[in-house]
Structure 1
């Protein structure tokens, strides 16, 4: 995508992710419809923008409502990352405690902002918000992702460079982009202006489209279920066939073991008979030697006459 189109997508995404959560999807679809005839690539990029999770939306709201506080959090995180290599264990523990206090305080502020927008943040969501702010302090890429204001999922990082941002931001080029600061509803607008806020355009066919989408989803789910049941039956037949083969092989093994036991007993009997035969053979050999000696003695006596 050319740079100009990327910039345009980022600007439009910035407007979209500043909206209340319920307004996001209809506003996005309206933009897709608006740009489809003029710039299909841009329309496709807009269509690919995903609705943010509640936790991601709260962080995005914080970035736009109180960018200075967010920048302070990110600056502290950058300083900690720079200094970490030279810190001893005691200092690290103290700074980790301070970092937790800061992220907890900012999370509380974010919950207040969300409540002013009519959104109640549960403790589970608040934990995800705090985890995202912590990730932004631990990882530089997470900090850039948060500052973009284009998060679609919460972040989590250990500080060991194992952060995976794939799918966490709305636009792959969001890292390095900074969300536009936007005042709370009712606040005095910035005379310098800024991009106008998006407004949701009601779609007269929304209900019909929703029903059609629901029917399509149901049909897809039924087709998936039918395919899964068919596969389940096929695998069951395979299991039964292998179970039968296993029983057959075990029976053959038992038969062979019985045969081996019989042969072992026969071998022992033959070994005993062999020992006896070898003893008789040895005795017969001795008798032959004695008879030969007697013959030799008789021949010698005759020769002397």
Structure 2
């Protein structure tokens, strides 16, 4: 029987391998199936999984299709951090150059994969992909998150403090990624401390909850469930808005690109039309010259025929008047 963390990682891996449009229906169906199997905790966690942003989906696609390239990114990041620790300036400069080249190449490959899958990746999304790959080099947790293929949002790291990776990955606890507080340190998890025996004289014993309290508890649970459902619906709507905004930006960029092509095509077509008119005029002139040349050739042929005929006649008359010389 898999643990909750193992189950969540397995389900998240299936869901985040889907295209963004397929995510929410598949997530809700999987949560319903888990609930029907009595896996309430797992169902609640799966239901709260967030739809990935376009940039996160592109990086997840890269992590699955080009795992070796992602591993190169993470390994170069480890070497970069080691050079930082050693204060090796020369090595840092060399690694910085390599980092920029590798990030640009891997991001371009990610964009190609997305285009092959039928998606449009705007320059803004590509910038987020590059930022995420850079974060994977700078921060160890970010590298682990990128390799997992379970990102829900892009990452950004400055190298000062820890990156907020937990909020950008689907199951951070299952991946061993702790959230960070405002100062960039791991957040402390607060635990309720039970009352000491006798600390509350009015405390009721277990099993003696009045009906009014039971009704109030049930009402509170119903309100909490409704609130969680509303929060999830809002989160899904926000994800859809973000995805639509990305799609709108990508569509606008595509319109601009195609308009540029259309302008160039119109200019080339006009130039071709002008050249065609010039060629037609040249062709008319050549046709006229050709007709004149044909007439001249025919006239010359008739003149040649007449001259040849006269020459032959003159030769015949000469032969008649000049006697043949005996041998």
Is the CA contact (8 Å cut-off) linking 1:139 and 1:161 kept in structure 2?
A: no
> Which runs of 5 or more residues in structure 2 are unaligned?
178-229, 235-327
Query: What aligned pairs does 1:150-161 form with structure 2 within 5 A after superposition?
Result: 150-161=150-161
Structure 1 position 42, deviation (Å): 1.0
Q: Which residue in 2 is equivalent to 1:9? A: 8
Aligned partner of 1:116 in structure 2 is 116
Alignment of 1:1-305 (within 5 A): 4-38=3-37, 39-175=39-175
CA separation of 1:7 and 1:53: change in aligned 2, threshold 3 A = same
What is the distance in 2 between the residues matched to 1:167 and 1:99?
25
Residues 148 and 174, structure 1, Cα contact 8 Å, conserved in 2: no
**Offset at 1:3?**
6.8
Q: Hey, what's the Cα distance between the residues in 1 that align with 2:63 and 2:50?
A: 18
1:191-225 Cα deviation digits (max 9, x unpaired): xxxxxxxxxxxxxxxxxxxxxx9xx98xxxxxxxx
Residues 61/174 of structure 1: CA separation in 2 closer, same or farther (3 Å cut): farther
Cα distance change on mapping 1:174 and 1:100 into 2, 3 Å: farther
Flag the 1:35–1:3 CA change in 2: closer, same or farther, 3 A: closer
My pick for the range that moved more, 86-95 or 98-107, is: 86-95
SS at the partner of 1:15? helix
CA distance in 2, matches of 1:67, 1:7: 21
Q: CA deviation at 1:73?
A: 1.1
Check whether the contact 1:55–1:154 (CA below 8 A) recurs between aligned residues: yes
Give the SS at the match of 2:33.
helix
After the TM superposition, list the runs of 4 or more consecutive aligned residues in structure 1 that deviate by more than 3 angstroms.
Answer: 87-91
Give 1:169 shift: 0.7
Q: Would the aligned equivalents of 2:139 and 2:162 in 1 still touch at CA under 8 Å?
A: no
Aligned residues: 179
What CA distance in whole angstroms lies between the structure 2 residues aligned with 1:72 and 1:90? 21
CA–CA separation in structure 2 for the residues paired with 1:65 and 1:32: 27
Distance change in 2, residues 1:110/1:174 (3 Å): farther
Superposition deviation, residue 88 in structure 1? 3.9
Query: Contact (CA 8 Å) 1:152, 1:170: kept in 2 or not?
Result: yes
| Alpha-carbon offset, residue 176 of structure 1 | 5.6
Q: Would you say the 8 A contact 2:83–2:91 is kept in 1?
A: no
TM-score, structure 2 length as denominator?
A: 0.52
Q: In the TM superposition, what is the alpha-carbon distance from 1:166 to its structure 2 partner? A: 3.2
**In the aligned structure 2, how far is the partner of 1:139 from the partner of 1:3?**
30
User: Corresponding residue for 2:283?
Assistant: none
How big is the shift at 1:80? 1.4
Cα distance 1:162–1:8, how it changes in 2: closer, same or farther (>3 A)?
Answer: closer
- TM-score, normalised to structure 1, is 0.55
The CA distance in 2 between the partners of 1:14 and 1:166, in whole Å, is: 16
